[in-house]
Structure 1
Amino acid sequence: MKKCVMNVLFAVIWFVSWTGSALAADINLSAALGLKDVVTELSSEFEKKNRGTAFQRNFAASGALAKQIANGAPCDVYLSANVEWMNYLKEKMLVDAKTVSNFAFSQLVFVGKSSLHLKTLQDVVTLERIAIGSPKSVPAGQYAMEAIKSAKIDRQLENKLVMAKDVRECLMYAERGEVDGAFVYRTDAALAKHAKILFIVPQNYYPRVTFLMALTPSGSRKAEAAAFYRFLQSDEAKKVLIRYGFTVS
């Protein structure tokens, strides 16, 4: 009799724990590393307002995230730092094309030691080591490489570029003094404690830094993910983006 009661008790405990976890709605969120701080705040705020909803956050270079999704990694909401990787997933029908939209905008800047007195992109050729995100997967690196080529200094920098896995690693190299300077987003540069913005890369040298967002097919079918997507378009979310230094139009 005692054994029977214990079995029933264990069954009740298991059922309650299982239903509790089943009721919790997880949103798989993959976002470009340059959005880490602002998206963490926005998703945390959404969790507070929607009890029972939890995020599985994944931050990395946009290209790395896109390839993860293409290889089957779970994702409901994808935020990219450029059009190319969003189009990559759209062509594979791994994002809902109807939901692809602009999320925020930023600028490319060059950061380095405060003792440096660089004023133009052409001045970068005087340096020895320059960090840049790997253009193969890091949009910040792609923007930077386009600017370097437009300024016609690519040959002069050919053996001076230090490839980083993402934009935050570029900033870290500059912060530690492991390089003379680095190309990063203005919004990332705001996080620096030791490096400073030496100049803003002229916009005519590269396409505008555009962060995009979209729901994946699984996200489109998930009410909580769709609600979060709408929240990212709200005036409340835009105020947070502006506070972090992004522009929204």
Structure 2
Amino acid sequence: MNIKPLLPLICCLTIICSLFGCNLIKTKNNILEISAGISLIDVMPEIESDYLKQKQNVTLSYNFAGAGTLAKQIEEGGAADIFISAGSKEMDNLQDKNLITENTRTNILRNKIALIATKDSSAIFEIKDLVSNKVNKIALSDPEKAPDGRYSRESLIHFGILDRIKNKVIFGKDPREVINLVANKKADAGLAYVTDAIQSEKVRVVSVVPENSHSPIVYCVAVLQRSKNVALAKDFVKFLTSDRAKAIFVNYGFTIFSVE
């Protein structure tokens, strides 16, 4: 068979394959599945934009929820390459079950808890005012689903008011739902991360809860054991500790983790 007449077509197909086919395979392999605490939902698009300036063939896919919810999904076999948790406890549990890749866990950020109220509220000036008869409903995150609920509960115990307000408490699944409950006046006040509270124009930050009233709020990240793209996941984790990423996080109200 004389294939000379087909040579131009073969060359053309080879070029097309090299330009598009291989690129499709590369893109498919460069998808990172990231399970991240919902308090990162505002900052991650800017982090992603900056990262993709360096890694143009990478696709980042997110699953945002409370860290407790995400950890449970991972334990049950949920697909993810990276876990960014707003609580050390959730990461500890995964590490104890050998579900994170060794030597990839990194502490990256800190946050604070804010006491929030409706915009028109004039009855709340500090956390102890939550016991007032003028405060009927208080929104908190469910401690089993989101770490900020755990920190909030610790602060209420610290100030000796948890038992006095427990009948007023309504739970949201995460800090965003807490803020929505207050913004929509389904609760008079609430406790949520400062970084979430400052993103809302519908609630008022009354005060920042003293950090010595609760466990340290530490955001940590790790590559998961089931990751299908460990090398790329490690590269993204490294980027999260870069000077550029740190500047973005600070712009959204986070504090960079440092050993005290």
TM-score normalized with structure 2 length = 0.86
- 2:56 and 2:186 mapped to 1: Cα distance? 44
- 1:41 and 1:19 mapped to 2: Cα distance? 29
Secondary structure, in 3 states, of the residue corresponding to 2:60? strand
- 1:182 and 1:40 mapped to 2: Cα distance? 27
Checking the alignment, whether the CA contact within 8 Å between 2:99 and 2:226 is kept in structure 1 is no
Counterparts of 1:1-249 in structure 2, within 5 Å, are: 19-24=22-27, 25-114=30-119, 115-126=121-132, 127-219=135-227, 222-248=230-256, 249=258
Quickly say closer, same or farther: Cα 1:92–1:195, change in 2 above 3 A: same
Checking the alignment, whether the CA contact within 8 Å between 1:31 and 1:59 is kept in structure 2 is yes
Quickly say closer, same or farther: Cα 1:234–1:219, change in 2 above 3 A: farther
- 2:221 and 2:173 mapped to 1: Cα distance? 22
- 1:172 and 1:17 mapped to 2: Cα distance? 45
**1:97 positional shift:** 4.0
Secondary structure, in 3 states, of the residue corresponding to 1:170? helix
Secondary structure, in 3 states, of the residue corresponding to 1:230? helix
Secondary structure, in 3 states, of the residue corresponding to 1:99? coil
CA RMSD after TM alignment: 2.2
- 2:102 and 2:211 mapped to 1: Cα distance? 28
Checking the alignment, whether the CA contact within 8 Å between 1:117 and 1:198 is kept in structure 2 is no
Checking the alignment, whether the CA contact within 8 Å between 2:116 and 2:205 is kept in structure 1 is yes
Checking the alignment, whether the CA contact within 8 Å between 1:96 and 1:220 is kept in structure 2 is no
TM-score normalized with structure 1 length = 0.90
Task: Please give the per-residue CA displacement for 1:62-119, whole angstroms capped at 9, x wherever unaligned.
Answer: 0111111111111111100111100010011111241212111111011112332423
Count of equivalent residues: 241
Secondary structure, in 3 states, of the residue corresponding to 2:218? strand
**1:40 positional shift:** 2.5
- From the CA coordinates, give the structure whose radius of gyration is larger: 2
Amino acid at match of 2:47: L
**Mean Cα deviation higher: 84-93 or 14-23:** 14-23
Instruction: Structure 2: give runs of 5+ residues left out of the alignment.
Output: 1-9
